[in-house]
Amino acid sequence: MVITVEPNPVPWTNIAVDGCDSNTPNRWAWAQNLENKGSQAVTFTRRNNYFDGSLANFGTFSLTLSPGEKYTHATRWCSGVNADHTFRTDWIGTTASGSSVTVTGPEVRLLDH
């Protein structure tokens, strides 16, 4: 599994981010690109998001990628602190044969404005 992000570093933006308000005016948006380069389908059921090295939140869902398949996940984040930050997503699931898999995404640098 290969994960890339675009762009990296991520510039500050003023676009709307769900769950953010005037207390979290620092916002970023980027794409996480996953590609299954393996020989088995992989079903992801959880994403762990890390902000500045600490687990910030997680989400459960279902995403299956067949061998060779690609998926782009639009990502948005906000913070009340105007500074550079880091962000990473780990994707957790199982292969078609039932083996557990965790794919650690690249660290993304979020730039202040």
User: pLDDT (tens digit, 9 = 90+) per residue, 51-81?
Assistant: 999 999 999 999 999 999 999 999 999 999 9
Name the burial class of residue 37, with classes exposed (0-12), middle (13-18) and buried (19+) by CB atoms within 10 angstroms of its CB. Answer: exposed
Q: How many domains does the chain have?
A: 1
CATH assignment of the domain containing 95: 2.60.40.10
User: pLDDT (tens digit, 9 = 90+) per residue, 26-46?
Assistant: 999 999 999 999 999 999 999
Region class of 30: left (phi > 0), else alpha (psi between -120 and 50), else beta: beta
Distances (CA, A) of 104 to 87, 88, 89, 93, 101: 12, 8, 7, 12, 10
Domain span holding position 66: 2-110
CA distance 13 to 77: 10
Mean pLDDT, residues 94-109 taken together:
97
Residue type, 30: W
